[in-house]
Amino acid sequence: MVSLSDAVPVPTPQCTSLPGGVSVMLPGWLCRVCRNRARWHHLPARGLSWSPRQISRWNKQESSESSQPETPRVLITGGLGQLGVGLAQLLRKQYGTDNVILSDIKKPPTEVFNSGPFVYVDVLDYKNLREMLVNNRITWLVHYSALLSAVGEANVARPQDQHHSTIGAFGPSSPRDPAPDLCVQRPRTIYGVSKVHAELMGEYLHHKYGLDFRCLRYPGIISADTPPGGGTTDYAVQIFHDALSSGRFQSYLRADTRLPMMHVGDCHRATLEYLQAPDCQLSLRTYNIAAMSFTPEEVAQEIRKHLPHLQVTYRPDPVRQTIADSWPMRFDDSNARRDWGWRPAYQLPELVTDMLEAIRQQRSREGLCTS
Ligand SMILES: NC(=O)c1ccc[n+]([C@@H]2O[C@H](COP(=O)([O-])OP(=O)(O)OC[C@H]3O[C@@H](n4cnc5c(N)ncnc54)[C@H](O)[C@@H]3O)[C@@H](O)[C@H]2O)c1
């Protein structure tokens, strides 16, 4: 599986000479299941371990696992952002700690480093990425590396080479309420343009070379555990922190800006379920997933059921407001529901209750008072 929210720095079938005299054909090396699987399993894995970047402390376990070829070996790129660590926890419960490698270009916090394999991978360094996949016998690549929408606009030169997908893959000429899986996609952010590029390249490689490319378009993801990373939907995380700390929140989006959102627990579960879905059930390679859609005013009203004193002011930021106005207000995820049984567990009331409880607990652990 290439990616879930994201696609891949695109490989084309090629013959690659590896140091140490090993020569190997690498078509479909990002595949979960690919045409060349048999060839892949014949590779002498030890013979490929020339690189100083090999993760030696985790390799000891690999030999005992090789008797279970059905267990996936997963690499998550951009794994230190909002979503990677939580997904790694879920996948490690399912497939074993050593079979799920987190990677990023940042230094991991101690607890993340101690919780399982972590390596440096810059997805713009194609050779390093390829080495990591080969040396560690990766079969599923989950591509989370990204510069989110608002940050991407400020760094236009960088995200063109990275690949990912989301509501940002749509633009003002797409149907907005709801946006179906297949429709006109003319996004006006570099974030969105790179998402569409990745979706199309992944689907091309699937149809042409049998790459098991799978891509999910996430809505705005709401999580208490990690700070937001520069997305247009970040207000929907910040409002909970501000409600509990000061009781006041200033929104950078207008009160009536409706966007699709999802609790992080649903996001991780959707990702795992889509990874596990039998290939024969998939009528698409890129699916929308949805849970709820709300405006800043609606989430504020729901929070006031718990914290009646919450005050919200609105000061729209021109960059983020323009981005939000070009995105879908709702996602049509009927294909995901029909093909692989997607169902969200959280609607707005459950999300608000869960977020307030989780952030209250965090604050009390840190000795902070709650408004
Ligand atoms: N969080 C959301 O609300 C949301 C919504 C829709 C889609 N998505 C998509 O899901 C994926 C994960 O989201 P997230 O919120 O965890 O993102 P994030 O911005 O929090 O994290 C992205 C990570 O990518 C890393 N990164 C940046 N450049 C890199 C490079 N060249 N090589 C390797 N790593 C690099 C960053 O260091 C960062 O840790 C992204 O593709 C994002 O576009 C997220």
With contact defined as beta carbons under 8 Å apart, do 206 and 61 qualify? no
* Catalytic residue flag (residue 144): no
Cα 370 to ligand 1 centre (Å) = 30
Residue type at position 368: L
Alpha helices in the chain (DSSP H): 37-41, 56-65, 84-95, 110-114, 126-135, 149-154, 190-209, 235-245, 264-276, 296-304, 318-325, 334-340, 348-365
Cα 5 to ligand 1 centre (Å) = 9
pLDDT reported for residue 150:
59
pLDDT reported for residue 263:
98
pLDDT reported for residue 40:
30
pTM assigned to the model: 0.83
Q: Rounded CA gap, 284 and 214, in Å?
A: 8
Q: Which helix (H) or strand (E) holds 285?
A: none
Residue 44's DSSP bridge partners are none
Verify whether ligand 1 is closer than 6 Å to residue 220 (CB atom): yes
pLDDT reported for residue 36:
33
pLDDT reported for residue 371:
76
Q: Considering only CA atoms, which of 26, 25, 31, 23 is closest in space to residue 7?
A: 31
pLDDT reported for residue 149:
58
Cα 18 to ligand 1 centre (Å) = 30
Tokens representing 135 are 């040396």
The active-site residue, picked from 144, 191, 218, 235, is 191
pLDDT reported for residue 42:
29
- Classified as helix, coil or strand, 46 is helix
Verify whether ligand 1 is closer than 6 Å to residue 129 (CB atom): no
Tokens representing 223 are 């999580």
Give helix 235-245 / helix 296-304 axis angle, nearest 10°. 30
Q: Rounded CA gap, 65 and 139, in Å?
A: 14
Q: Rounded CA gap, 213 and 215, in Å?
A: 7
pLDDT in tens, 178-216: 999 999 999 988 889 999 999 999 999 999 999 999 999
pLDDT reported for residue 33:
33
pLDDT reported for residue 226:
78
Pocket test for ligand 1, best of 85, 144, 223 (most atoms within 8 A of CB): 144
pLDDT reported for residue 96:
97
* pLDDT tens series, the chain, 371 aa: 443 333 333 333 332 322 222 111 222 223 343 333 323 332 222 222 223 334 434 444 444 444 555 799 999 999 999 999 999 999 999 999 999 999 999 999 999 999 999 999 999 999 999 999 999 999 999 999 987 655 666 665 543 333 647 889 999 999 999 999 999 999 988 889 999 999 999 999 999 999 999 999 999 999 998 777 678 999 999 999 999 999 999 999 999 999 999 999 999 999 999 999 999 999 999 999 999 999 999 999 999 999 999 999 999 999 999 999 999 999 999 999 999 999 999 999 999 999 999 999 999 999 988 87
pLDDT reported for residue 163:
64
Tokens representing 205 are 């490689």
Verify whether ligand 1 is closer than 6 Å to residue 123 (CB atom): yes
Residue 355 burial class via C-beta count within 10 angstroms: exposed 0-12, middle 13-18, buried 19 and up: buried
Cα 80 to ligand 1 centre (Å) = 8
pLDDT reported for residue 93:
97
